[in-house]
Each structure stands twice: as C-alpha cells, then as structure tokens.
Amino acid sequence: MQTPVRVPDLKERKRRGEKIAMLTAYDATMARLLDRAGVDALLVGDSVGMVMLGHDTTIPVTLDDMVHHTKAVSRGTERALVVADMPFLTYQISASEAVRNAGRLIQEGGAAAVKLEGGREVVDVVKRLVDVGIPVMGHLGLLPQSVHKAGGFRRQATQPEEADRLIADAHALEEAGAFAIVIESVPHDVARLATAHVAIPTIGIGAGPDCDGQILVSHDILGLFDGPVPPFVQQYAKLADTIVAAGRAYVDDVRAARYPKSRQEIAGTRTP
Ligand code: KIV
C-alpha cells in the first residue's frame, strides 16, 4: 500500500515547488481508477449534481447526496486525499450548523477535508471548522453555488477591483486556517498574483498555469460527455464514443444471437 496523501502534504508540495494534481470523483469505481493513476487528491464535488444527477446547477445537491457519494469515493480510495464539497446552504446559516454538516462528510462519508465557496463572508465558519479539527479547502473566483447572483457561469475577477478583492479573500482564508484554495475561472495573472500572495496551495481550474495545482472534472477530461466542455479543459480520452460503440456491439450480438456463447454460460461465474 502506498503512503496516503495527508492535508499537510499539500502545503509541503507548494513549499517544494511540486505541482498538485486533483480531479473530481463521485463513485468508488472512478475513485479506484484515478487513485491508481496517482492523483494527489479527489474532490467529491457538488458538481455531482450536474455531472451525475442531471441537474442544471449545483444548487439542488443535498447533504445526503454528498454523504452518499463521499462514502463511495472513500471506499474506492487508498492513497489520494478525499475532499468533499459542502453543498449550498449547509454552511451559510450558522457556524454550528456548518460544523454538524461538515462533521457528517468526515464521520459518515470518510472524507479527510471539506471544501466551501466564498471569501471573507465565510471566514468565521472556516475558523470554527478548523478549530474543531476539520480541514477546509476554500474556493474563490467563479462560485457555482452563486450562479444566480452572478447571472451565469461567468469568468470572474476581470476588473482590477474584483482582482484586489479576490487576493484579499485568499489572504483571509489563509488567516482563517484554510489549507488550500480552489481558484476557478479567473484571468491567469490574477491567479498568479493570488498564488504568490499566500503560503497555502492554490488549485486552479480555468485559471492558468501558475497555480500550485490543477483540478478538472474527471468526466470532462475523460470525454464522458457528448456535449461541449469548457474551453480550458484538455480531453485525454473520448470514453463516450467507446461506451456507445461497446453498447452497440453488445446490442448487435444479442440480437444476432452471437452472445452468449454456450461455453461462456458454463464458465460464467462473476469474479469479484
Ligand atoms: O464541484 C466541483 O466539481 C468543483 C470543482 C470544479 C472545483 O467545485
């Protein structure tokens, strides 16, 4: 068994100038495969709502959804750090509710840390979570849970005053005890500045090459969608095509009575 990645390892990576590779996972099978591929951390993102559950935004995702998917990812993971997203309205109402809700993701879900969206407006919650022993990853820039306020999934911090706010928010999260910050969809120079201003790692998504690490949605890089992916995504496979072709071949074989062959039926016990 390989040495598991722990929360303090990520800060150490930044200190040593080593990049951090992070992907999302929502189930045990994908977690097992990506863990074998060597990713440093797996995020059970509330993007599960859009990627797996067919919602248009992350807002309908519930804490029960997240606990369910986090349990599965934890079961499939040996080495990577498992981080679970706190869904909309599970940390904004009060710090004590946030502790109870984050506690479920750690205690029942098996995550090592939680992620939540926002800057100075969430620092009291971040402090409280860290005080009770729950590591927190922040999330700045495009905040999918605020999609209605932003008027869509738009690039953020494009104006100088917004860029200053983002850097001040990154400082505030670091001060509050966050161990890393996701920075989503901001100009590259803003992400570079934020990265230089904090000692904790920044994990970019659509934020350029100068963050301390990168995160992408695994279904995007694997080509598991038929539709378009964000422009910053690099696709490493086209699994949607492979799956459709395999499914079609199976359908053809069944219809033509080429499957099952009698030999396969006799030998056929399912091995674990
Ligand atoms: O929910 C998610 O997948 C995320 C990442 C895209 C950073 O927050």
Where do the domains of the chain lie, and which CATH numbers do they carry? Answer: 7-237 (3.20.20.60), 239-272 (no CATH)
pLDDT of residue 263: 66
Closest residue by Cα to atom 3, ligand 1, is 45
Atom of ligand 1 nearest to the CA of 117: 8
Residue 227 reports pLDDT greater than 80: no
Ligand 1 atom with the shortest distance to the CA of 184 = 7
Strands 41-44 and 81-85: parallel
Q: What is the per-residue pLDDT across 171-194, written as a single tens digit (0 to 9) for each?
A: 999 999 999 999 999 999 999 999
Query: For residue 57, which phi and psi values (nearest 5 degrees)?
Result: -140, 180
Q: How far is the C-alpha of 249 from the C-alpha of 78, rounded, in Å? A: 34
Active site residues: 184
205/26 Cα distance (integer angstroms): 18
Q: What is the pLDDT of residue 264?
A: 62
CA dist., res. 226 & res. 216, Å (int)? 17
% of the chain surpassing 90 pLDDT: 93
pLDDT band at 209 (very low <50, low <70, confident <90, very high): very high
Is cis: bond before 260, omega within 30 of 0? Answer: yes
